[in-house]
Structure 1
Amino acid sequence: MKELPKVELHLHLEGAAPPELIRRMGQEKSINLTGVFAEDGTYKYTDFVHFLEVYEAATQVLKTPDDYARLTRAVLEESAEQGVVYCETFLSPDFCGGSDVGAWREYLHAMQEAADRAERDLGITLRGIVTCIRHFGPEKAKASALCAAETAGDWLVGFGIAGDENKGRPGDFAYSFDMAREAGLRLTAHAGEWGGPQSVREALRDLKVERIGHGVRAIEDLALVDELAENGVVLEVCPGSNVTLGVYSKWSAHPIERLRERGVKVTVSTDDPPFFHTTMSREYEALNRTFGWDEEIFDQIARTSLDAAFCDEATKTRIAKRLETS
């Protein structure tokens, strides 16, 4: 599965940090990371809310633009090893300079430089999507949206929202999404993971997004599923994440195949891979084992993902050639 060329649309940069990198950076800065790691060195958490707390605790060690450059390089090395040729990653100005536009520019520049070097060295292309953090509230989201709007361009291509779906409603963040849209950014939103199918409806209606992060609980409302298929809404599905966090009890209970069979455009991503003990290759292996997906279906998934990517057409054309020749 590693040899198949892959396109990943739903990856949180901090959440993809190799545990050994976070531990090493913590030691360098003498930062206490008690409670972040299990005895075997992996990240330790008990449920989704605790996962968010551990995630944010781990980001304590990421204090400078250079730290984020190191993080970007490490994440891209891992992704390239799994056959990923194009990736979009979620970036949060809240963690990068406290949503100050000037500081954010420095962090963004460092990440982009690291990504450019990785593209030259490893052949993987990265683009950024700013995400506001839902449980930080609408006012902080506006600051993140301003950072996104001020730095929108060929590399920073989208805006979205992540965090605890149980905090607030999508409409609370409409101002931020309007600001990002006016700056020319493409839009996505986490929904339908914990909030049920109604959260997907609200994200589409109130935020006017074209992609939904997760979105899998739309399966509980078949009329909504048919609407997603008819309107071409793309779901950034992260099956391993859903199973590990308990949204579904096992792989065979996951609805990705049912959604695909009803005509919904589904893609495959890892979300926060080291937290969920997964990689893109492991996702593919589990989909093959559970639903019988073969190389033809995985090729369709990669092409659907590239079609849904927020990058410009020139980049898509270049990546499409890699899908054809790999």
Structure 2
Amino acid sequence: MVRPVEELPKAHLHLHFTGSARVDTVRELADQHGLRLPDALTGDYPPQLSARDERGWFRFQRLYDAARAAVRDEDDLRRIVREAALDDAAEGSRWLELQVDPTSYAPRLGGITPALEIVLDEARSVSARSDAAQVGVIVAASRIRHPLDARTLARLAARYAGDGPGAVVGFGLSNDERRGVTEEFAPAFEIARRAGLALVPHAGELLGPTAVETTVESIHPDRVGHGVRSTEDPRVLDLVADSGIALEVCPGSNVSLGVYGSPEEVPLRAIVDRGIPVALGADDPLLFGSRLADQYTTAREELGFDDEGLAALARGSFEASRAPAEVKAAALKDIDAWLAAPAG
């Protein structure tokens, strides 16, 4: 007898813009714009992926780029934001930090500023609905672009920095972590730090503990996207724990990309037992076929977390978030109520 994970209040801190899209939406947008999608996004879905090597990552990126190309105009961007907020709320998510690189949509929308403004405006709009999660935005730079581009995005993020729905609440660094030199992105993160933004780079999924150590020491982040491979070196795991950094752990992503062979291998228990704050995330549900509630189900069914453990993970997601104080307080109270209710 267990409590439904969909009813457990959560914050979702690791969700990429295009990767959040419903597959049916991507198909509809592709038809609307006269685009042909790869078979893995149409008849042979969800795709079988692995990023253990460069070829595997190329296939993942090719599918992601094909889906992103179907998002072409203002209505499309608004639809992605709106549906992400509605889908998250249906799974118990109260607060969503949606990560977007406006560079991807700038050419068709007049630049990075109007592209970001569209996302922020729709985030404000959908957050006012009772059936949607409230949405803050993380502006993310790409490791495959020049670090000067990251500084441009950091300055843009700083201009729209704020608290609450429809504001930029964080600055990230994503894409293939085997590319780029992490230390060269530190100046961009310093711009974001001065603006009061959460610093949330990716590290430690495709690369091992050294990548996490470099990220911690050069960027001094608030959270690290993934970070799971810090468990491979006790010294790095201690560094993460002592730094007070939260890890955004995405079990579905880890398995789909071949980082671990099965859900049971994801080292969530080792991270939690070391006292490191954790926020579970879905990363890219469009390509991995698993959403936020599925990550909690995996923690329960494959990794041995009981309902008290799931509630602790949910609390950690809010405590690591930039959700408004009143949203956090209400959610933490409701997490306690979920745990106090009889299992059914």
TM-score by length of 2: 0.88
Counterpart amino acid of residue 226 in structure 1 = D
Counterpart amino acid of residue 245 in structure 2 = V
Please give the residue correspondences for 1:307-322 in structure 2 after superposition, counting only pairs within 5 Å: 307-322=319-334
Q: Which residue of 1 aligns with 2:342?
A: none
Distance (Å, rounded) in 2 between the aligned partners of 1:57 and 1:121: 33
Q: Which residue of 2 aligns with 1:303?
A: 315
Change (3 A) 1:105 1:193: closer
Please give the residue correspondences for 1:250-261 in structure 2 after superposition, counting only pairs within 5 Å: 250-261=262-273
User: Does the CA contact (< 8 Å) of 2:224 and 2:245 recur in 1?
Assistant: yes
Q: Which residue of 2 aligns with 1:31?
A: 35
Q: Which residue of 2 aligns with 1:103?
A: 114
Percent identity over the alignment is 32
Change (3 A) 1:19 1:12: same
Counterpart amino acid of residue 247 in structure 2 = L
Counterpart amino acid of residue 114 in structure 2 = A
Q: Does 1:159 align with 2:168?
A: no
Change (3 A) 1:228 1:109: closer
User: Does the CA contact (< 8 Å) of 1:10 and 1:90 recur in 2?
Assistant: yes
Q: How many residues align?
A: 324
Q: Does 1:74 align with 2:83?
A: yes
TM-score by length of 1: 0.92
What is the deviation of 1:163? 0.3
Q: Does 1:129 align with 2:138?
A: yes
Please give the residue correspondences for 1:84-233 in structure 2 after superposition, counting only pairs within 5 Å: 84-98=93-107, 100-117=111-128, 120-154=129-163, 155-233=167-245
Distance (Å, rounded) in 2 between the aligned partners of 1:236 and 1:79: 16
Compare 304-313 and 194-203 and name the one that shifted more: 304-313
User: Does the CA contact (< 8 Å) of 1:213 and 1:237 recur in 2?
Assistant: yes
Distance (Å, rounded) in 2 between the aligned partners of 1:325 and 1:261: 24
Distance (Å, rounded) in 2 between the aligned partners of 1:83 and 1:66: 26
What is the deviation of 1:35? 4.7
What is the deviation of 1:105? 4.4
What is the deviation of 1:41? 4.5
User: Does the CA contact (< 8 Å) of 2:161 and 2:195 recur in 1?
Assistant: yes
Q: Which residue of 1 aligns with 2:294?
A: 282
What is the deviation of 1:87? 1.7
SS in 2 for 1:270: coil
SS in 2 for 1:275: helix
What is the deviation of 1:6? 1.9
Counterpart amino acid of residue 194 in structure 2 = E
Q: Does 1:269 align with 2:281?
A: yes
Q: Which residue of 2 aligns with 1:56?
A: 65
Change (3 A) 1:54 1:301: same
Distance (Å, rounded) in 1 between the aligned partners of 2:40 and 2:298: 27
What is the deviation of 1:325? 4.3
Distance (Å, rounded) in 2 between the aligned partners of 1:293 and 1:44: 27
What is the deviation of 1:141? 1.6
Distance (Å, rounded) in 1 between the aligned partners of 2:330 and 2:278: 22
What is the deviation of 1:52? 1.7
User: Does the CA contact (< 8 Å) of 1:97 and 1:104 recur in 2?
Assistant: yes
> Runs of 4+ in structure 1 displaced over 6 angstroms?
none
User: Does the CA contact (< 8 Å) of 2:48 and 2:256 recur in 1?
Assistant: no
Q: Does 1:6 align with 2:10?
A: yes
Distance (Å, rounded) in 1 between the aligned partners of 2:100 and 2:334: 26
Compare 187-196 and 33-42 and name the one that shifted more: 33-42
SS in 1 for 2:6: coil
Distance (Å, rounded) in 2 between the aligned partners of 1:318 and 1:297: 19
Distance (Å, rounded) in 1 between the aligned partners of 2:132 and 2:68: 27
Change (3 A) 1:25 1:44: farther
What is the deviation of 1:136? 2.3
What is the deviation of 1:125? 1.6
What is the deviation of 1:217? 0.5
What is the deviation of 1:43? 4.8
Distance (Å, rounded) in 1 between the aligned partners of 2:26 and 2:132: 25
Q: Does 1:241 align with 2:253?
A: yes
Distance (Å, rounded) in 2 between the aligned partners of 1:101 and 1:271: 23
Distance (Å, rounded) in 2 between the aligned partners of 1:96 and 1:320: 36
